[in-house]
Amino acid sequence: MRYAMAIDTKKCVGCGDCVVACQTENNVPIGYCRDWIVEVTDGTYPQLEIEIRSERCNHCDNSPCVRCCPTGASHYIEGGIVKVTPHKCIGCGACIASCPYDARYSHPDGYVDKCTFCDHRIKQGQQPACVAVCPTKCMYFGDLDDPNSDVSNVLKKRKYKTLIPEAGTKPQVYYLI
Amino acid sequence: MREELITSGRMNPNIDPHLEIWHWHIPLYLFLGGLAAGILFFAALYVILGMESKYAGAVRRAPIIVPFLLVIGLAALFLDLRHKLYFWQLYTTIKLQSPMSWGAWTLMGITPISVIWVAIHIQEYFPKWEWKNVILKDLNAFFLKNKLALAWVTIVLSVILGIYTGILFSAFNARPLWNTSILGPLFLASGLSAGAATIILFARSKEERLLFARIDILLIVIELFLIIHMFMGFKASTQVQIDAVNMFLGGQYTAPFWIFVVVLGMLVPALLEFLELRHKKIPVVLPVALVLFGSLMLRFIIAYAGQMSRWLY
Protein backbone atom coordinates (compact mmCIF):
# COMPACT_ATOMS: atom_id res chain seq x y z
CA MET A 1 0.00 0.00 0.00
CA ARG A 2 1.29 3.47 -0.89
CA TYR A 3 -0.97 6.43 -0.20
CA ALA A 4 -0.52 9.40 -2.49
CA MET A 5 -2.30 12.57 -3.53
CA ALA A 6 -2.66 14.17 -6.94
CA ILE A 7 -3.65 17.82 -7.24
CA ASP A 8 -4.82 19.36 -10.50
CA THR A 9 -3.11 22.72 -10.94
CA LYS A 10 -5.41 23.46 -13.89
CA LYS A 11 -8.54 23.11 -11.80
CA CYS A 12 -7.37 24.61 -8.50
CA VAL A 13 -8.57 28.20 -8.08
CA GLY A 14 -6.66 28.84 -4.84
CA CYS A 15 -9.81 29.38 -2.76
CA GLY A 16 -8.13 28.08 0.39
CA ASP A 17 -11.01 25.80 1.42
CA CYS A 18 -8.52 22.94 1.86
CA VAL A 19 -6.53 25.08 4.29
CA VAL A 20 -9.55 25.95 6.41
CA ALA A 21 -10.93 22.40 6.30
CA CYS A 22 -7.61 21.05 7.55
CA GLN A 23 -7.34 23.62 10.33
CA THR A 24 -10.86 22.75 11.50
CA GLU A 25 -10.54 18.99 11.17
CA ASN A 26 -7.17 18.77 12.90
CA ASN A 27 -7.49 21.57 15.49
CA VAL A 28 -4.54 23.37 13.99
CA PRO A 29 -3.66 26.28 16.32
CA ILE A 30 -4.57 29.75 15.08
CA GLY A 31 -1.80 31.32 13.03
CA TYR A 32 -0.48 27.96 11.82
CA CYS A 33 -1.30 25.72 8.87
CA ARG A 34 -0.59 22.18 7.74
CA ASP A 35 -1.46 22.94 4.11
CA TRP A 36 -1.26 26.18 2.17
CA ILE A 37 -1.70 27.75 -1.24
CA VAL A 38 1.19 28.78 -3.49
CA GLU A 39 0.75 30.89 -6.61
CA VAL A 40 3.51 30.99 -9.18
CA THR A 41 3.27 33.68 -11.84
CA ASP A 42 5.63 33.22 -14.73
CA GLY A 43 6.32 35.06 -17.98
CA THR A 44 6.60 38.54 -19.48
CA TYR A 45 3.68 40.92 -19.19
CA PRO A 46 1.13 40.59 -20.74
CA GLN A 47 1.93 36.96 -21.53
CA LEU A 48 1.65 35.65 -18.00
CA GLU A 49 0.92 32.17 -16.78
CA ILE A 50 -0.23 31.30 -13.31
CA GLU A 51 0.02 27.99 -11.51
CA ILE A 52 -1.87 27.50 -8.28
CA ARG A 53 -0.89 24.69 -5.95
CA SER A 54 -2.31 23.44 -2.70
CA GLU A 55 0.82 22.26 -0.87
CA ARG A 56 1.39 20.12 2.19
CA CYS A 57 3.75 17.44 3.52
CA ASN A 58 4.78 15.23 0.59
CA HIS A 59 4.92 12.05 2.70
CA CYS A 60 8.21 11.31 0.98
CA ASP A 61 9.39 7.77 0.38
CA ASN A 62 12.88 8.90 1.40
CA SER A 63 11.98 11.34 4.16
CA PRO A 64 14.85 13.43 5.52
CA CYS A 65 12.72 14.20 8.58
CA VAL A 66 12.44 10.53 9.56
CA ARG A 67 16.15 10.08 8.95
CA CYS A 68 17.17 13.09 11.10
CA CYS A 69 14.83 12.48 14.02
CA PRO A 70 16.97 11.44 17.02
CA THR A 71 14.16 9.75 18.97
CA GLY A 72 12.06 8.00 16.33
CA ALA A 73 9.15 10.38 16.93
CA SER A 74 9.00 10.97 13.17
CA HIS A 75 8.17 7.65 11.59
CA TYR A 76 6.36 5.90 8.74
CA ILE A 77 3.02 4.21 9.22
CA GLU A 78 1.21 1.84 6.89
CA GLY A 79 0.85 3.26 3.42
CA GLY A 80 4.02 5.33 3.69
CA ILE A 81 2.39 8.15 5.66
CA VAL A 82 4.93 10.13 7.69
CA LYS A 83 3.70 10.87 11.21
CA VAL A 84 4.98 12.42 14.43
CA THR A 85 4.35 10.89 17.86
CA PRO A 86 3.97 13.93 20.16
CA HIS A 87 5.04 12.15 23.35
CA LYS A 88 8.28 10.98 21.71
CA CYS A 89 9.09 14.36 20.15
CA ILE A 90 11.60 16.50 22.10
CA GLY A 91 11.08 19.57 19.93
CA CYS A 92 14.70 19.77 18.79
CA GLY A 93 13.73 21.11 15.37
CA ALA A 94 15.98 18.78 13.36
CA CYS A 95 13.08 17.56 11.22
CA ILE A 96 11.91 21.13 10.58
CA ALA A 97 15.38 22.06 9.34
CA SER A 98 15.58 18.87 7.27
CA CYS A 99 12.40 19.40 5.23
CA PRO A 100 13.04 21.06 1.85
CA TYR A 101 9.32 21.85 1.62
CA ASP A 102 9.16 23.49 5.07
CA ALA A 103 6.05 21.42 5.66
CA ARG A 104 6.54 21.11 9.43
CA TYR A 105 6.07 23.60 12.20
CA SER A 106 6.62 23.74 15.92
CA HIS A 107 3.25 23.36 17.66
CA PRO A 108 2.72 25.86 20.52
CA ASP A 109 2.51 22.81 22.84
CA GLY A 110 6.16 22.03 22.03
CA TYR A 111 6.09 19.08 19.67
CA VAL A 112 6.38 19.19 15.90
CA ASP A 113 3.23 18.97 13.83
CA LYS A 114 2.36 18.48 10.17
CA CYS A 115 -0.08 16.97 7.67
CA THR A 116 -1.04 13.35 8.40
CA PHE A 117 -3.03 12.75 5.19
CA CYS A 118 -5.88 12.64 7.78
CA ASP A 119 -5.01 9.03 8.61
CA HIS A 120 -7.78 9.05 11.23
CA ARG A 121 -10.30 9.67 8.43
CA ILE A 122 -8.70 7.16 6.06
CA LYS A 123 -9.16 4.47 8.71
CA GLN A 124 -12.88 5.15 8.62
CA GLY A 125 -12.96 4.92 4.84
CA GLN A 126 -13.18 8.69 4.37
CA GLN A 127 -11.06 11.00 2.25
CA PRO A 128 -8.63 13.49 3.85
CA ALA A 129 -10.49 16.66 4.90
CA CYS A 130 -8.83 18.83 2.23
CA VAL A 131 -9.80 16.41 -0.56
CA ALA A 132 -13.35 15.96 0.73
CA VAL A 133 -14.05 19.68 0.89
CA CYS A 134 -12.46 20.87 -2.38
CA PRO A 135 -15.19 22.72 -4.34
CA THR A 136 -13.49 22.19 -7.72
CA LYS A 137 -12.75 18.52 -7.02
CA CYS A 138 -9.15 19.11 -8.02
CA MET A 139 -7.63 16.69 -5.51
CA TYR A 140 -7.37 12.92 -5.81
CA PHE A 141 -6.33 10.63 -3.01
CA GLY A 142 -5.79 6.90 -2.79
CA ASP A 143 -3.49 3.92 -2.95
CA LEU A 144 -0.89 3.98 -5.74
CA ASP A 145 -0.54 0.19 -5.49
CA ASP A 146 -4.21 -0.18 -6.43
CA PRO A 147 -4.43 0.42 -10.20
CA ASN A 148 -8.11 1.37 -9.90
CA SER A 149 -7.79 4.02 -7.21
CA ASP A 150 -8.65 7.65 -8.02
CA VAL A 151 -5.05 8.73 -7.79
CA SER A 152 -3.72 5.86 -9.95
CA ASN A 153 -6.32 6.54 -12.63
CA VAL A 154 -5.67 10.25 -12.89
CA LEU A 155 -1.89 9.77 -12.96
CA LYS A 156 -2.32 7.34 -15.87
CA LYS A 157 -4.20 9.93 -17.92
CA ARG A 158 -2.45 13.17 -17.09
CA LYS A 159 1.02 14.70 -17.16
CA TYR A 160 2.32 15.44 -13.69
CA LYS A 161 5.30 16.65 -11.69
CA THR A 162 6.49 16.48 -8.10
CA LEU A 163 8.13 19.28 -6.13
CA ILE A 164 11.94 19.44 -6.14
CA PRO A 165 12.47 15.79 -7.09
CA GLU A 166 16.19 16.67 -7.30
CA ALA A 167 16.22 16.89 -3.49
CA GLY A 168 16.00 13.09 -3.58
CA THR A 169 13.06 12.83 -1.23
CA LYS A 170 10.73 10.87 -3.55
CA PRO A 171 7.68 13.02 -2.75
CA GLN A 172 4.22 11.41 -2.96
CA VAL A 173 2.07 14.46 -3.69
CA TYR A 174 1.74 14.78 -7.45
CA TYR A 175 0.81 17.95 -9.30
CA LEU A 176 -1.13 17.54 -12.55
CA ILE A 177 0.10 20.01 -15.16
CA MET B 1 11.77 40.76 -18.74
CA ARG B 2 10.65 37.25 -17.95
CA GLU B 3 9.97 36.89 -14.29
CA GLU B 4 8.80 34.19 -11.92
CA LEU B 5 6.91 35.35 -8.89
CA ILE B 6 6.13 32.91 -6.10
CA THR B 7 3.49 33.88 -3.54
CA SER B 8 2.74 31.63 -0.63
CA GLY B 9 -0.15 31.79 1.77
CA ARG B 10 1.82 30.02 4.47
CA MET B 11 2.97 32.10 7.42
CA ASN B 12 3.98 29.59 10.08
CA PRO B 13 5.99 31.16 12.93
CA ASN B 14 9.76 30.39 12.75
CA ILE B 15 9.30 28.89 9.27
CA ASP B 16 8.26 31.84 7.10
CA PRO B 17 9.45 33.98 5.41
CA HIS B 18 12.59 31.99 6.06
CA LEU B 19 13.54 29.31 8.55
CA GLU B 20 14.46 30.53 12.04
CA ILE B 21 13.98 27.41 14.10
CA TRP B 22 17.45 27.47 15.69
CA HIS B 23 18.61 30.56 17.53
CA TRP B 24 21.72 31.28 19.64
CA HIS B 25 21.58 28.00 21.60
CA ILE B 26 22.74 25.75 18.79
CA PRO B 27 25.79 27.73 17.56
CA LEU B 28 26.82 28.40 21.18
CA TYR B 29 26.63 24.70 21.96
CA LEU B 30 28.49 23.80 18.75
CA PHE B 31 31.26 26.19 19.77
CA LEU B 32 31.51 24.86 23.34
CA GLY B 33 31.31 21.25 22.16
CA GLY B 34 34.02 21.85 19.57
CA LEU B 35 36.24 23.60 22.10
CA ALA B 36 35.76 20.79 24.64
CA ALA B 37 36.55 18.24 21.94
CA GLY B 38 39.69 20.16 20.99
CA ILE B 39 41.04 20.36 24.55
CA LEU B 40 40.30 16.69 25.31
CA PHE B 41 41.83 15.61 22.00
CA PHE B 42 45.21 17.16 22.82
CA ALA B 43 45.06 16.02 26.46
CA ALA B 44 44.49 12.42 25.36
CA LEU B 45 46.98 12.69 22.50
CA TYR B 46 49.90 13.61 24.74
CA VAL B 47 49.07 10.82 27.17
CA ILE B 48 49.07 8.37 24.29
CA LEU B 49 52.34 9.79 22.98
CA GLY B 50 53.85 9.41 26.48
CA MET B 51 54.65 13.11 26.81
CA GLU B 52 52.38 13.88 29.72
CA SER B 53 54.95 15.54 31.95
CA LYS B 54 56.41 17.55 29.10
CA TYR B 55 53.05 18.99 28.10
CA ALA B 56 51.36 19.13 31.49
CA GLY B 57 49.36 22.23 30.53
CA ALA B 58 47.54 20.27 27.84
CA VAL B 59 47.12 17.03 29.76
CA ARG B 60 46.58 18.13 33.35
CA ARG B 61 45.64 21.80 33.45
CA ALA B 62 43.49 22.82 30.49
CA PRO B 63 40.90 20.00 30.79
CA ILE B 64 39.65 21.50 34.08
CA ILE B 65 37.34 23.79 32.09
CA VAL B 66 35.93 21.00 29.89
CA PRO B 67 33.15 19.78 32.25
CA PHE B 68 31.99 23.40 32.61
CA LEU B 69 32.01 23.93 28.84
CA LEU B 70 30.01 20.75 28.31
CA VAL B 71 27.50 21.52 31.05
CA ILE B 72 26.87 25.05 29.72
CA GLY B 73 26.57 23.59 26.21
CA LEU B 74 24.13 20.94 27.36
CA ALA B 75 22.09 23.58 29.18
CA ALA B 76 21.91 25.60 25.95
CA LEU B 77 20.80 22.48 24.06
CA PHE B 78 18.15 21.81 26.67
CA LEU B 79 16.87 25.40 26.49
CA ASP B 80 16.57 25.01 22.72
CA LEU B 81 14.20 22.05 23.03
CA ARG B 82 10.55 23.00 22.73
CA HIS B 83 9.20 19.81 24.30
CA LYS B 84 11.67 19.86 27.19
CA LEU B 85 10.16 17.30 29.55
CA TYR B 86 10.53 14.60 26.89
CA PHE B 87 14.29 15.07 26.43
CA TRP B 88 14.94 11.61 27.90
CA GLN B 89 13.41 10.11 24.76
CA LEU B 90 16.87 10.70 23.23
CA TYR B 91 18.15 7.87 25.39
CA THR B 92 15.47 5.33 24.58
CA THR B 93 16.84 4.61 21.13
CA ILE B 94 19.94 4.71 18.95
CA LYS B 95 19.33 6.13 15.47
CA LEU B 96 22.44 5.61 13.39
CA GLN B 97 21.25 7.89 10.60
CA SER B 98 20.52 10.80 12.90
CA PRO B 99 23.54 12.97 13.77
CA MET B 100 21.65 14.31 16.77
CA SER B 101 21.31 10.79 18.16
CA TRP B 102 25.07 10.28 17.70
CA GLY B 103 25.64 13.57 19.50
CA ALA B 104 23.35 12.73 22.40
CA TRP B 105 25.08 9.40 23.02
CA THR B 106 28.58 10.84 22.54
CA LEU B 107 27.83 13.54 25.12
CA MET B 108 26.52 10.85 27.44
CA GLY B 109 29.97 9.24 27.23
CA ILE B 110 32.31 12.19 27.06
CA THR B 111 30.75 14.34 29.81
CA PRO B 112 31.45 11.84 32.63
CA ILE B 113 34.85 11.08 31.10
CA SER B 114 35.74 14.78 31.22
CA VAL B 115 34.84 14.83 34.92
CA ILE B 116 36.97 11.71 35.53
CA TRP B 117 39.85 13.34 33.65
CA VAL B 118 39.69 16.43 35.87
CA ALA B 119 39.34 14.29 39.01
CA ILE B 120 42.45 12.19 38.40
CA HIS B 121 44.47 15.37 37.75
CA ILE B 122 43.01 17.39 40.59
CA GLN B 123 46.33 17.46 42.44
CA GLU B 124 47.68 19.71 39.72
CA TYR B 125 45.48 22.45 41.17
CA PHE B 126 45.21 21.24 44.78
CA PRO B 127 48.52 19.50 45.59
CA LYS B 128 47.32 18.37 48.99
CA TRP B 129 44.08 16.86 47.72
CA GLU B 130 43.30 13.35 48.91
CA TRP B 131 40.22 11.29 48.16
CA LYS B 132 38.70 10.54 51.56
CA ASN B 133 35.97 8.20 50.40
CA VAL B 134 37.25 4.66 49.88
CA ILE B 135 35.26 4.07 46.71
CA LEU B 136 36.45 7.32 45.18
CA LYS B 137 39.99 6.48 46.18
CA ASP B 138 39.77 3.09 44.50
CA LEU B 139 38.19 4.58 41.40
CA ASN B 140 40.93 7.19 41.24
CA ALA B 141 43.58 4.50 41.47
CA PHE B 142 41.76 2.41 38.84
CA PHE B 143 41.63 5.22 36.28
CA LEU B 144 45.22 6.26 36.96
CA LYS B 145 46.30 2.69 36.35
CA ASN B 146 44.30 2.48 33.12
CA LYS B 147 45.04 6.01 31.99
CA LEU B 148 46.24 4.95 28.54
CA ALA B 149 42.99 3.11 27.84
CA LEU B 150 41.04 6.11 29.13
CA ALA B 151 43.05 8.34 26.78
CA TRP B 152 42.19 6.15 23.79
CA VAL B 153 38.47 6.26 24.58
CA THR B 154 38.71 10.02 25.12
CA ILE B 155 40.48 10.69 21.85
CA VAL B 156 37.95 8.67 19.84
CA LEU B 157 34.97 10.32 21.54
CA SER B 158 36.51 13.79 21.17
CA VAL B 159 36.96 13.32 17.42
CA ILE B 160 33.34 12.14 17.11
CA LEU B 161 32.19 15.12 19.19
CA GLY B 162 34.24 17.56 17.12
CA ILE B 163 33.19 16.20 13.75
CA TYR B 164 29.53 15.60 14.54
CA THR B 165 28.98 19.28 15.29
CA GLY B 166 29.57 19.87 11.57
CA ILE B 167 27.78 16.75 10.35
CA LEU B 168 24.73 17.88 12.31
CA PHE B 169 24.39 20.64 9.70
CA SER B 170 25.65 18.79 6.66
CA ALA B 171 23.01 16.07 7.04
CA PHE B 172 20.31 18.54 6.01
CA ASN B 173 20.05 18.60 2.25
CA ALA B 174 17.08 20.95 2.62
CA ARG B 175 19.51 23.78 3.44
CA PRO B 176 21.94 24.00 0.52
CA LEU B 177 24.58 25.96 2.47
CA TRP B 178 24.83 23.21 5.08
CA ASN B 179 24.70 20.34 2.65
CA THR B 180 28.43 19.83 2.26
CA SER B 181 30.47 17.13 3.96
CA ILE B 182 33.34 19.65 4.32
CA LEU B 183 31.50 21.10 7.34
CA GLY B 184 32.45 18.04 9.44
CA PRO B 185 36.23 18.42 8.97
CA LEU B 186 35.94 22.24 9.04
CA PHE B 187 34.20 22.29 12.41
CA LEU B 188 36.60 19.65 13.72
CA ALA B 189 39.59 21.76 12.62
CA SER B 190 38.01 24.86 14.12
CA GLY B 191 37.33 23.06 17.42
CA LEU B 192 40.90 21.70 17.54
CA SER B 193 42.23 25.18 16.79
CA ALA B 194 40.13 26.67 19.61
CA GLY B 195 41.34 23.85 21.89
CA ALA B 196 45.00 24.42 21.00
CA ALA B 197 44.60 28.16 21.57
CA THR B 198 43.04 27.59 24.99
CA ILE B 199 45.85 25.24 25.97
CA ILE B 200 48.31 28.08 25.27
CA LEU B 201 46.67 29.94 28.16
CA PHE B 202 47.19 26.98 30.49
CA ALA B 203 50.72 26.11 29.34
CA ARG B 204 53.39 26.18 32.00
CA SER B 205 56.53 26.28 29.87
CA LYS B 206 57.51 28.45 26.95
CA GLU B 207 58.24 25.30 24.97
CA GLU B 208 54.67 24.09 25.40
CA ARG B 209 53.27 27.51 24.52
CA LEU B 210 55.29 27.62 21.31
CA LEU B 211 54.33 24.07 20.38
CA PHE B 212 50.63 24.88 20.61
CA ALA B 213 51.13 28.15 18.76
CA ARG B 214 52.66 26.08 15.94
CA ILE B 215 49.82 23.56 16.05
CA ASP B 216 47.29 26.38 16.00
CA ILE B 217 48.88 28.02 12.95
CA LEU B 218 48.79 24.68 11.14
CA LEU B 219 45.11 24.19 12.04
CA ILE B 220 44.24 27.71 10.88
CA VAL B 221 45.90 26.98 7.52
CA ILE B 222 43.87 23.76 7.28
CA GLU B 223 40.69 25.69 8.10
CA LEU B 224 41.41 28.28 5.39
CA PHE B 225 42.04 25.49 2.92
CA LEU B 226 38.75 23.80 3.87
CA ILE B 227 36.80 27.08 3.57
CA ILE B 228 38.19 27.76 0.09
CA HIS B 229 37.56 24.14 -0.84
CA MET B 230 33.97 24.38 0.42
CA PHE B 231 33.28 27.58 -1.51
CA MET B 232 34.79 26.14 -4.70
CA GLY B 233 32.59 23.09 -4.31
CA PHE B 234 29.49 25.26 -3.94
CA LYS B 235 30.44 27.39 -6.94
CA ALA B 236 30.69 24.25 -9.07
CA SER B 237 27.43 22.80 -7.78
CA THR B 238 23.71 23.33 -8.39
CA GLN B 239 21.98 26.72 -8.55
CA VAL B 240 20.76 26.55 -4.95
CA GLN B 241 24.30 25.98 -3.70
CA ILE B 242 25.64 28.77 -5.93
CA ASP B 243 22.98 31.04 -4.39
CA ALA B 244 23.97 29.80 -0.93
CA VAL B 245 27.68 30.60 -1.30
CA ASN B 246 26.89 33.96 -2.89
CA MET B 247 25.68 35.06 0.54
CA PHE B 248 29.39 35.05 1.45
CA LEU B 249 30.71 36.37 -1.85
CA GLY B 250 28.92 39.70 -2.15
CA GLY B 251 25.69 38.85 -0.33
CA GLN B 252 24.51 39.78 3.13
CA TYR B 253 26.98 37.62 5.09
CA THR B 254 30.07 38.79 3.18
CA ALA B 255 31.26 41.41 5.67
CA PRO B 256 30.64 39.48 8.91
CA PHE B 257 32.15 36.29 7.54
CA TRP B 258 35.33 37.70 6.04
CA ILE B 259 35.96 40.27 8.77
CA PHE B 260 35.02 38.32 11.90
CA VAL B 261 35.80 34.74 10.93
CA VAL B 262 38.62 34.95 8.40
CA VAL B 263 40.52 38.16 9.21
CA LEU B 264 39.98 38.59 12.98
CA GLY B 265 39.44 34.90 13.78
CA MET B 266 42.15 33.33 11.62
CA LEU B 267 44.60 35.62 9.82
CA VAL B 268 45.33 38.05 12.66
CA PRO B 269 45.83 35.39 15.39
CA ALA B 270 47.93 33.28 13.02
CA LEU B 271 50.13 36.33 12.36
CA LEU B 272 50.39 37.08 16.09
CA GLU B 273 51.33 33.47 16.84
CA PHE B 274 53.87 33.56 14.05
CA LEU B 275 55.42 36.72 15.53
CA GLU B 276 55.54 34.98 18.90
CA LEU B 277 57.46 32.11 17.32
CA ARG B 278 59.83 34.77 16.05
CA HIS B 279 60.38 35.80 19.70
CA LYS B 280 58.41 39.03 19.48
CA LYS B 281 56.59 40.04 22.66
CA ILE B 282 52.92 39.33 22.10
CA PRO B 283 50.37 39.34 24.98
CA VAL B 284 49.39 35.67 24.88
CA VAL B 285 45.74 36.31 25.59
CA LEU B 286 45.28 38.29 22.37
CA PRO B 287 45.64 35.55 19.72
CA VAL B 288 43.78 33.10 22.00
CA ALA B 289 40.80 35.43 22.41
CA LEU B 290 40.70 36.09 18.66
CA VAL B 291 40.79 32.38 17.78
CA LEU B 292 37.94 31.65 20.20
CA PHE B 293 35.96 34.60 18.87
CA GLY B 294 36.47 33.45 15.25
CA SER B 295 35.46 29.91 16.13
CA LEU B 296 32.25 31.16 17.79
CA MET B 297 31.43 33.49 14.89
CA LEU B 298 31.98 30.72 12.33
CA ARG B 299 29.28 28.66 13.98
CA PHE B 300 26.88 31.55 14.43
CA ILE B 301 27.23 32.64 10.80
CA ILE B 302 26.94 29.12 9.37
CA ALA B 303 23.91 28.41 11.59
CA TYR B 304 22.04 31.59 10.67
CA ALA B 305 23.06 31.76 6.99
CA GLY B 306 22.20 28.09 6.53
CA GLN B 307 18.66 28.71 7.67
CA MET B 308 18.34 31.45 5.05
CA SER B 309 19.48 29.19 2.23
CA ARG B 310 16.78 27.08 0.64
CA TRP B 311 15.41 25.38 -2.43
CA LEU B 312 13.15 27.45 -4.63
CA TYR B 313 10.26 25.75 -6.35
Using a pLDDT cut of 90, give the percent of chain A over it: 99
Q: How does DSSP classify residue B83? A: S
B163-205 pLDDT, tens digit each: 999 999 999 999 999 999 999 999 999 999 999 999 999 998 9
CB count within 10 Å of CB B205 equals 12
Q: In whole angstroms, what is the distance from residue B230 CA to residue B24 CA?
A: 24
Spell out which residues of chain A touch residue B9, defining contact as CB-CB under 8 Å. 16, 19, 33, 36-38
Among B1, B5, B80, beta carbon nearest to A41: B5
| Secondary structure (3-state) at A110 | coil
**Domains delineated in chain B:** 24-308 (1.20.1630.10)
| pLDDT for position B4 | 85
For residue range B202-255, list pLDDT tens digits in order: 998 999 999 999 999 999 999 999 999 999 999 999 999 999 999 999 999 999
Let me know: does A99 contact A113? Beta carbons within 8 Å.
Answer: no
At A90 the pLDDT is 97
Q: Cis ω on the peptide bond leading into residue A46 (within 30° of 0)?
A: yes
Relative orientation angle of helices B206-235 and B285-308, to the nearest 10 degrees: 20
Contacts of B254 (CB under 8 A, 6+ apart): B247, B248
**% helix / strand / coil in chain A, to the nearest 5?**
25, 25, 45
Interface of A with B in 28-47 (CB under 8 A): 31-33, 36-44
Instruction: Tell me whether residues B80 and A92 touch, CB distance under 8 A.
Output: yes
3-state helix, strand, coil in chain B (%, to 5): 70, 0, 25
pLDDT of B37-59, one tens digit each? 999 999 999 999 999 999 999 99
Q: Nearest Cβ partner of A88 from B84, B86, B100?
A: B86
Q: B124 vs B115, B129, B138, B151, B277, CA distance in Å?
A: 15, 9, 19, 18, 27
- Residues A17-45 as b/e (b if ≥16 CB within 10 A, e otherwise) read bbbbbbbebbebeeebbbbbbbebeeeee
Q: Residue B61: name the closest of B262, B266, B201 by CA.
A: B201
* pLDDT exceeds 90 at position A125: yes
- According to the model, what pLDDT value does residue B312 have? 83
Chain A residues inside the 8 Å CB shell of B24:
none
| HSE value, Cβ hemisphere, 13 Å, CA-based, for B43 | 33
The residue among B308, B39, B53 whose CA lies nearest residue B192 is B39
With cut-offs at 50, 70 and 90, classify the pLDDT of residue A43: very high
- Give me the interface pTM, i.e. the ipTM: 0.93
pLDDT at B1 over 80: no
The identity of residue B129, as a single letter, is W
Residue in B98, B108, B170, B178 to test binding to A, most A beta-carbons within 10 Å: B98
In the three-class reduction of DSSP (H, G, I as helix; E, B as strand; rest coil), residue A93 is classed as: coil
Asked if A105 contacts A96 with a C-beta cutoff of 8 angstroms, the reply is: yes
Residue A83 φ then ψ, to 5°: -130, 165
* Parent domain of A32: 3-176
Please, which pLDDT band fits residue B31 given cuts at 50, 70 and 90?
Answer: very high
pLDDT tens per residue across span A76-95: 999 999 999 999 999 999 99
Residue type (1 letter), B206:
K
Give B64-81 pLDDT, tens digit per residue. 999 999 999 999 999 999
Q: Note the pLDDT of residue A149.
A: 96
Cβ-proximal residues to B152 (8 Å cutoff; 6+ apart), any chain: B44, B48
Q: What is the CATH number of the domain that holds A146?
A: 3.30.70.20
Q: Count structural domains, chain A.
A: 1
Write the CB contacts of B13 (distance below 8 Å, at least 6 apart in sequence).
A31, A32, A105, A106
Residue B251 burial (CB < 10 Å; 0-12/13-18/19+)? Answer: middle
pLDDT per position as a tens digit, B93-128: 999 999 999 999 999 999 999 999 999 999 999 999
DSSP helix/strand/coil, B245: helix
- Cβ contacts of A51 on chain B, cutoff 8 Å: none
User: Residue B292 above 90 pLDDT?
Assistant: yes
DSSP code string of B28-78 = HHHHHHHHHHHHHHHHHHHHHTT-TTTTHIIIIIGGGGHHHHHHHHHHHHH
- One-letter amino acid of B242: I
Residues of A in contact with B171 (CB under 8 A): 67-68, 98
| Contact with chain B for residue A105, Cβ under 8 A | yes
Give residue A38's pLDDT band: very low, low, confident or very high (50, 70, 90). very high
